[in-house]
Structure 1
Amino acid sequence: MSSVDSNPNFSLTDLIDRDLRFHKLKEKLSEHNQNSKEYLTALYNAMPLSGHVDYPVFLEQQAVPVPGSRRPGYSPTYRNALSPDHLVSSISPRLATFFDIFNFTTERCPENDCLGARVKLDETAKWGSKYVFETYSAIQERSRNLGSGIMTLVNFKRKQAANCNDFIVSLLSTNRKEWIISDLACQAYSLPNTALYETLGPDTSQYILNITNSPVLILSKSNLYKVLAILSNLNDLSTLICMDDLSSDELAHLNGPLLAGSINQRGERVSVLTFKQVEEIGFDNQVPIIPPTADSLYTISFTSGTTGTPKGVLLNQSHLMAGVTFLLSNIGIPPTKNGKQPYDMCFLPLAHIFERMIAAYELAVGAALGFLHVADPAVLIEDLRVLKPDFFCVVPRVLTKLEAGIKNAVQGATVPNFTKLVARKVLDKRLVTIQSREGPDNSILNHLVYRKILIDKIRASVGLSEASFIVIGSAPISSDTLMFMKSALDCGVRQGYGLTETFAGVCLSEPHERDSGTCGAIAITTECRLRSVPEMGYDAEHDLRGEVQVRGSQVFAGYFKNPDTTKEVLDGEGWFSTGDIGYIDSRGRLSIIDRVKNFFKLAQGEYIAPEKIENIYISSCPYLTQICVYGDPLKTFLVAIVGLDLEAITSFLHQAVPGLRIFHGENLINALNDKPEYRKELLKMMNSFVRGLQGFERVNNIYVGVEPLKVSDDTITPTLKVKRAKATKKYENVLKALYEEGSLIKAEKL
């Protein structure tokens, strides 16, 4: 079938019922009435779907071309091999929205831990050594009280009926319990919400609040005064709800002298309340819940984009449900849990759709979500050691820092030479095993020797002693890093691909494949194809390389108040053009290799695709965290701004460049930038890692930093994509100086 199925409501339970490959699972589930609590609980526990087919056969062919789908200029359409005849849209007819799913989880396990954090000990400044959780039933009650309070407050000010839900709720905070409670409150009353990034600054926050006409903003105390500073520019905002407790004096000051006479353009008084106050108002003024439907708008997720104004991606409950279905079909509750509740650290920003998808899946299966005790990534390892999550979702930068920390710990100056030798031997043996076989290493040697000697100690040191796999997404990463982490932690590493417009992931690699670096097969909810891009040399028909296009139940409804841009990327047949250049391998797995239209010409007439080059450097060299490639059209070679993982690269530089041994930290960075001979050695190392680039595509001079590109200065997006025009402008003088200095390696054979 070359088009989307005529039945848009094909569920996971339908797939299991109709596909003969799942007949044993069907028989097992048939012990219960279909769609009953017992049936769906057994279904959850039976996942992943790949566990009910011949797994080695599935690994060899994870996605398949749809017969009759070839068209000139395109690859065949690919579908997941587990559901080649249908695109799946939901788990079950009983679970049409995430409101249904969360209530179902609360019904199944009301006393399970739900949301938690470490708390300060009484009368001390110390933080507790355990996570304190609220149960699913408690969080359900709090979310409904909060939702009722929001409805009461906003509609009282607008002089509307209490059940009027024609407005958008905004959120501005780092990850915390109150963020999730607010999201659940919105769903209980069919209130769409939108999340503001803390790092994008007041202009973006102002733009989003005004374009959405949002009357209410739920935010942390740390952001309260930042918003008050731009309050006069906010047309519709009338209610600010602070997640933190405020004293009566603080509230009196805020609502008295500070906000005296503050009236928005609707003529509504602006006021500040605490989260607890709004819950109490909701408890005292119970507004009946307004359950969403599959077509209800769930969220407007604004993409920061590499160019232009942020675009608001319209995502319905149906898109959220399809995303949860994709993850449920792919990820099983770790068998080591033996029926116990799994735990996870809610670490990546909830303002980004990746973490919202992960959090939704975890709440669906009854997992517990822990949060950092302070909003600082520096405490991550400390909190991981306390929480001991069963799985962990990260971006490449976090994983490379974990890699550097592990390497330094086992090879540090204070470690005896004998111990270093043993550690190297164990990690080398583990790496050989991983690269020579598919699946987890269940050998006696691994469990009784390697785990006891080294691996269990490494896992405990980084707080991942219970982790069965790690999920990584958002940006390219070195295959060497992926293989090392699989070896050092003896757990699966799963790389994903997706966009805000697809409700995060639509691909996820298998955890224990012998090769790393692909994003895995397309989801059972989605189909994909590649479009030829001849101006960039990509031929989808013959080489399976081209722009990735996707279609299915996870693909968004359009951009908020932006029909023209919607038409540019969503065609009449429902295909979404992602702008990413991908490659589909013989197993049906997708790899992202470039971006459409990101190319320029050098003086000798050669076309350069900078994002492709950046992806190759980042995915090849484990010491790099960032790179922005630049080419002057009047010059014949490339230069780059490079971010280094200082912890990982210091030892290498001290060994490779004797003159650098006296430098550490920022002084090491300064020494590299001051001395071209030092940078030359670093650049030679970088180029020694990369494969598949022609000589003119390799970087010839560099400027280095620890984090030269930042979200806060608008040179990268929150999803770590380079904003090329902004980065080039910021480093205009640096790039000019690199060209004046010339190529550091032009006499070398590239």
Structure 2
Amino acid sequence: MSISQLKTQIPQNDQYSVEVAGSPDIPGEGKPRRNALCPDKLIVHPTGATTLYENFLNGVKEAGDDGNFLGHREIKDGPYVWQSYRKVQKRVSNFGSGLRKLGLKPKDLMGFFSINTPEYVMTQLACYQYNFISVPLYDTLGVETIEYIVNQTEMVYCLATANKARHLLNMKDKLPTLKTIIITDQYDQEITDLAISHDVKIVNFILVEKDGSVHPVKAKNAKPDDTAIICYTSGTTDTPKGVVLSHKNIMANVASVRWLAENGKLFLASPDDVHISYLPLAHVFELVNTATMIYGGTAIGFYQGETLKLLDDIAELKPTVFISVPRLLNRVYDKVVAGVKAKGGVAQWIFTTALNTKKNGLNKGNVDHWMWDRVVFAPIRARLGGRVKTILSGAAPISSEVMDFLRIAFSADVYEGYGQTENAACLTITLLGDIASGHVGPPQVCVEIKLVDVPDMNYTSKDKPYPRGEICVRGHSVFREYFKLPEKTAEVLDKNGWCHTGDIGQWDKQGRLVIIDRVKSIFKLAQGEYIAPEKIEKIYAKHELIYQAFVYGDSLQPSLVAVIVPSEKTLLKWARQNNLVRKSFQQLCTDPQVKKYFLQILIKYGKANDLKGFECIKNIHLVDEPFSMTNNLLTPTFKLKRHQARIKFQKEIDNMYTEIS
């Protein structure tokens, strides 16, 4: 069903969410709201699947005997090699049996320390079948955090790639409970010797699988309320918290997406689809994406593990579904816009004409154009393999202009989701046919949402024209607890089952949720003004000179400062135009003249984009190294780790404030 067909089904004034019938008036909060398509109940699980293992069995049934499931590139840059759902089902059972023989018992913990691979998913599925609990370690976590998670969970068994196994062995003195590492790829004698020296058992994945196939141990399947995973928050503060998610929590999200899809409001994953898996499976966003694809019998291809080669993997795989995060989607947009500007002249005129023509069509509910799709947008589509029909953005806000560009360039259905680890990535999602931007849609059909007043920030459920407040969610996807942290659990999960997200939202006139602030990221300046740094960073990041920005301020200072990573290509171009051609990018970042130029530009840009005087940055520090997971400044979903950034740049922050004074 096309957007143009759906346009007539969603009148402009229709309500996407409605108040829960019979809910009481409670001072200081708005009434709970549910998706208007399903106002009388909350969906628990999809047809025939109450657990993640039953979810897999449904995928096996949907895909049939020969349906592709897990694909990877055996030879570097070679073709994708596939395993069918049926073959993987047999391998999963054998591997799960092998884990039982290795010593794991139902409800024991299994660690994961690996990039996304077929072995990762097969181990996950074995855990679901044999009722083991998954505990992922983020691929780029620092030593202290890995130590914290392993020791808090008293982890004994861990699946790892050889390089990550070496990492664990090198810090084994701080990991007393770790006894067995299952390695998924080839490893050398040095790792074996290192394991022996630390009294750690090293086992090859294939050998565990083979052992499990001989006199197999019968599986004791999980129940819906059993814990499926302890998913540690990626952490914008010091210590991550282990979010305990049950099979029911995750299946509620699968159920919601499936229910909306079957009712014509979302994409319906099927065996005809192909999903590219590169967002970390250790994060709940990709975990749930994968579960949703599996239910539909969809083929899942993995990237090679190198971000720089992701587009090569996509070109070879040719996915139909592309699930991503704003930072990566912004790059696609920025590269196209920069390329058009560089060409200039007739090429730029043609692109602008094509873009505006399709934008006019988009406003009427049509995403196709017989000429411009072939002449202008075909090369852009080829960057994502040429077959993408569905794009989903999640984990962070995305701008309206990028959302519109994706719809126009790819003639695709583009959705934006909003959620957190604590609600299994499931809170709201935009719906098919709704092409308005700037909101994150109505509640998923497995949860209900209310807004609670935040008086200190002047947000209330009685605000006009739209109610505002802290977003609170209750329903089947909401987590049970933080692992071994009852006090932290009580801070977030109240006695009535409401999870307090820490985000500030408002309902728009059609009952869709708009994210407007963040409680935890808000701070006061010396004069008492409240600052939302993420909003300011988002504005500055739109400037062509800016690649990344970290805005900082505190209650002892009257103004804001920022650490800026310039766009290397744009800065070098500016340098050529200003007779600084002999300087490298690194040298330019330390040049006082460049800094002065940057600051003047950004102050003007901030004012032009309606930033208040106290929201404009008053001093900057330029750095040539981008914020990344590797230097522990970004979470796996590319959110800025403010606490770590403050620590890393404290000296520079102090210097900036000294210069201002």
Provide TM-score, normalisation by structure 2.
0.92
Asked whether the 8 Å contact 1:440–1:492 carries over to 2, the reply is no
1:371 Cα deviation (Å)? Answer: 0.8
With over 3 angstroms needed to count, the CA separation of the structure-2 counterparts of 1:383 and 1:71, relative to structure 1, is: same
Asked whether the 8 Å contact 1:548–1:579 carries over to 2, the reply is yes
The amino acid of 1:91's aligned partner reads P
For residues 524 and 335 of structure 1, the distance between their equivalents in structure 2, rounded to whole angstroms, comes to 12
Asked whether the 8 Å contact 2:276–2:322 carries over to 1, the reply is yes
With over 3 angstroms needed to count, the CA separation of the structure-2 counterparts of 1:551 and 1:669, relative to structure 1, is: farther
Asked whether the 8 Å contact 1:193–1:300 carries over to 2, the reply is yes
2:404 equivalent in structure 1: 483
With over 3 angstroms needed to count, the CA separation of the structure-2 counterparts of 1:260 and 1:387, relative to structure 1, is: closer
Secondary structure at the aligned position of 2:426 is classed as strand
Secondary structure at the aligned position of 1:56 is classed as coil
1:700 partnered with 2:654: no
Deviations 1:293-330 (A, max 9, x none): 11111000011322232111110010111011122234
Asked whether the 8 Å contact 2:551–2:563 carries over to 1, the reply is yes
Asked whether the 8 Å contact 1:87–1:524 carries over to 2, the reply is yes
For residues 633 and 149 of structure 2, the distance between their equivalents in structure 1, rounded to whole angstroms, comes to 20
- Report matched runs for 1:520-539 at 5 Å: 520-539=441-460
Asked whether the 8 Å contact 1:147–1:186 carries over to 2, the reply is yes
2:562 equivalent in structure 1: 640
1:457 equivalent in structure 2: 379
1:62 partnered with 2:16: yes
Deviations 1:694-743 (A, max 9, x none): 22122222223465433344444333444433322221222223234439
Deviations 1:572-622 (A, max 9, x none): 11110011111211111112222214333333343334344445555x657
For residues 665 and 586 of structure 1, the distance between their equivalents in structure 2, rounded to whole angstroms, comes to 51
1:356 equivalent in structure 2: 287
1:368 partnered with 2:304: no
1:682 partnered with 2:636: no
Secondary structure at the aligned position of 2:427 is classed as strand
The amino acid of 1:368's aligned partner reads A
Asked whether the 8 Å contact 2:389–2:410 carries over to 1, the reply is no
With over 3 angstroms needed to count, the CA separation of the structure-2 counterparts of 1:311 and 1:288, relative to structure 1, is: same
1:629 partnered with 2:584: no
1:35 equivalent in structure 2: none
Secondary structure at the aligned position of 1:696 is classed as helix
For residues 336 and 517 of structure 1, the distance between their equivalents in structure 2, rounded to whole angstroms, comes to 20
One of 431, 441, 450 as aligned partner of 2:367: 441
Secondary structure at the aligned position of 2:287 is classed as helix
Asked whether the 8 Å contact 2:69–2:299 carries over to 1, the reply is yes
2:651 equivalent in structure 1: 733
The amino acid of 2:301's aligned partner reads G
Which structure has the higher relative contact order (CA within 8 Å, separation 6+)? 2
For residues 180 and 11 of structure 2, the distance between their equivalents in structure 1, rounded to whole angstroms, comes to 57
For residues 289 and 586 of structure 2, the distance between their equivalents in structure 1, rounded to whole angstroms, comes to 39
Asked whether the 8 Å contact 2:595–2:622 carries over to 1, the reply is no
2:251 equivalent in structure 1: 321
674-683 or 526-535, larger mean C-alpha shift: 674-683
For residues 484 and 672 of structure 1, the distance between their equivalents in structure 2, rounded to whole angstroms, comes to 36
For residues 266 and 487 of structure 2, the distance between their equivalents in structure 1, rounded to whole angstroms, comes to 48
One of 200, 203, 227 as aligned partner of 2:141: 200
Asked whether the 8 Å contact 1:382–1:463 carries over to 2, the reply is no
1:658 Cα deviation (Å)? Answer: 3.9
For residues 685 and 668 of structure 1, the distance between their equivalents in structure 2, rounded to whole angstroms, comes to 25
Asked whether the 8 Å contact 2:96–2:212 carries over to 1, the reply is yes
Asked whether the 8 Å contact 2:525–2:557 carries over to 1, the reply is yes
- Report matched runs for 1:486-565 at 5 Å: 486-511=407-432, 513-542=434-463, 543-565=466-488
The amino acid of 1:186's aligned partner reads C
For residues 205 and 144 of structure 2, the distance between their equivalents in structure 1, rounded to whole angstroms, comes to 25
The amino acid of 1:641's aligned partner reads V
The amino acid of 2:346's aligned partner reads F
1:68 Cα deviation (Å)? Answer: 4.2
For residues 604 and 491 of structure 1, the distance between their equivalents in structure 2, rounded to whole angstroms, comes to 47
1:463 Cα deviation (Å)? Answer: 2.3
1:271 partnered with 2:193: no
The amino acid of 2:100's aligned partner reads M
For residues 52 and 566 of structure 1, the distance between their equivalents in structure 2, rounded to whole angstroms, comes to 42
For residues 676 and 614 of structure 1, the distance between their equivalents in structure 2, rounded to whole angstroms, comes to 18
Secondary structure at the aligned position of 1:237 is classed as coil
For residues 265 and 43 of structure 2, the distance between their equivalents in structure 1, rounded to whole angstroms, comes to 24
Asked whether the 8 Å contact 1:498–1:504 carries over to 2, the reply is yes
1:297 equivalent in structure 2: 227
1:742 equivalent in structure 2: 660
One of 589, 608, 616 as aligned partner of 1:670: 589
| Greater Rg by CA | 1
For residues 715 and 86 of structure 1, the distance between their equivalents in structure 2, rounded to whole angstroms, comes to 41
Secondary structure at the aligned position of 1:84 is classed as coil
One of 454, 465, 469 as aligned partner of 2:390: 469
Asked whether the 8 Å contact 1:72–1:541 carries over to 2, the reply is no
One of 13, 18, 34 as aligned partner of 1:79: 34
Deviations 1:223-272 (A, max 9, x none): 121111111222222211111034xxx35x544x4333644xxxxxx211
Deviations 1:18-75 (A, max 9, x none): xxxxxxxxxxxxxxxxxxxxxxxxxxxx999x99997313883211222443321112
388-397 or 730-739, larger mean C-alpha shift: 730-739
The amino acid of 1:571's aligned partner reads D
Secondary structure at the aligned position of 2:440 is classed as coil
The amino acid of 2:505's aligned partner reads G
Deviations 1:192-214 (A, max 9, x none): 11100121122211221222122
1:144 equivalent in structure 2: 93
Asked whether the 8 Å contact 2:166–2:191 carries over to 1, the reply is no
RMSD: 3.0
Unaligned residue ranges in structure 2 (runs of 5+): none
Asked whether the 8 Å contact 2:550–2:564 carries over to 1, the reply is yes
Secondary structure at the aligned position of 1:89 is classed as coil
1:182 partnered with 2:127: no
Asked whether the 8 Å contact 1:334–1:468 carries over to 2, the reply is no
The amino acid of 1:137's aligned partner reads R
1:260 partnered with 2:186: no
For residues 174 and 193 of structure 1, the distance between their equivalents in structure 2, rounded to whole angstroms, comes to 15
1:97 equivalent in structure 2: 51
For residues 171 and 673 of structure 1, the distance between their equivalents in structure 2, rounded to whole angstroms, comes to 46
Secondary structure at the aligned position of 2:203 is classed as strand
Unaligned residue ranges in structure 1 (runs of 5+): 1-45, 121-125, 156-163, 264-269, 744-750
